Structure 1
Amino acid sequence: MSLHDRHDAIGRMAASERLLVALDFDGTLAPLEDEPMEARMLPVARDAVDALLAAPGVVVALVSGRSLSDLRIIAEHRDDSRLLLAGSHGAEYWFPGEGAFTHEDDPADAGLRDELRAHAEKVTAQLDGVWIEPKRFGFGVHTRKAAPQDAAEANRLVDVLVSAEAPRWRRRTGHNIVEYAFRHEGKDSAVAELREKTDATAVLFAGDDVTDEDALRSLGDGDLGVHVGTPPTAASVCVADIPAMAALLADIARERGSARS
């Protein structure tokens, strides 16, 4: 991001009446980990989020593909937190003062989920470094620790399985993971729901992965999309890494404080 682009982005966000800052977690605030449940925000990212929470007219939300229960653990999210959460790509929420919320499911979907997850574990059991992650609305195939050929074979086997047994499920790819879900919400719908819930007049959304691009493409005039990493991306600005993302968020928090003091 050029200095001019950074200045313009901060100015737009500082000028909005009510700002929603919606942030992916893994790769955006916390480094990617071989053991997913070990992920935690970098201290500099935590400080930036806290500064935004203290800034006037700002609501901060984490928007993640993680289940809500797992997201609360890795984000070290407490019952008295002011952070909003959207888990499972926007199928689950946690709102301050209200607690957890989710849209109703068909019980048959959960039965099929459990059956397919067990089948996925069976067909990939012989592939080293492949792990099937249980999710509330489906499951994920993790291949971060697998050799490339084993990763490709795991994804092929599970693609065949899901295509045959649940062809209408949503498939998402990310960093060394393929996710399958019977719910079709995405981070774009999560941002839309959070925008309505918070009466936001502008949205900043930031992410680093393929699954974040739906949300980035959904942003409108007056919003800001930030990609952590290098193009291609639908984001209007890119930052190099998590510390650079944290610095941008901290600048916005300071600017909003100054503009409304």
Structure 2
Amino acid sequence: MRATFILSVCCLALLSACNQQNFETDDSQFQAYLKVKRVSPDDEQRVARYRAEFERRAALANAIYDDDGLDRELLDAEVAEFRKELLISRYFEQYLNESVTEAGIQNYYSENIDQYKSRKAKVSHILFRTNPRMDKTERDVVLTKATEAYSRVNAGEAFEEVAKAVSEDAISATKGGDLGWINEGAVSATFSDKVFNMQAGEISEPFLTEFGFHVIKVTEPAQEVTRSLDSLKGDIRYQLRNKTKQAETERLLKEAGYQAPEPADS
């Protein structure tokens, strides 16, 4: 991005001279050019190389300046738009870097900590799938299978072994039904409500969600977790920069007396 900006400044310096009779190559302009290129005045070899390029481009631009084939009004309009875009971009780059600080991000995180809290629980399940095309008789057959699995677990068989044997969730079945840690509200509402109202080690009777009939076991109790600032810093910075830019844009336009035109009647 910085390289693009530097190139843009170079182009702006050259193109803005289109409103003059020629492109100057005096020392003050060249020194400014070196700053844009981030070349130290003490680096004699690079200074000499950039001086030659600076003067070559100026000579070339001067040679074609009066070419009748150029649409001068179009070129001037393009330069004007480019200058406005560069000015706006440069202003907000500096303004946002100064306004959205690490301290500001920390304060925002602290003031909104509740929205970064969630509950999670570790869960295993045995699933018997249904689909919307099933009639009540077909669904009852699936429920019977789920009830049999529940009875086996309730009678003392290891939940993990029953899951491996009969669960229709092929991925979790290979792990004894283990779904890992799930966040409250991150899955089916019915499933989530059931999980987060159970105790660790508790096994549910079969219940239906849009996926089918489940028998679940909460293997680790529900606990509250808070996302760390480090994991959220990028998102918060992006959010604050957008809000800050919008507010500053509105302030600047108001200061300039700008009023948005009324929408045209359709």
Fold similarity call, TM over 0.5: no
Structure with more relative contact order (C-alpha pairs < 8 Å, separation 6 or more): 1
Structure with more strand by fraction = 1
Structure with more helix by fraction = 2
Q: Name which one, 1 or 2, has greater alpha-carbon Rg.
A: 2
TM-score normalised over the length of structure 1:
0.22
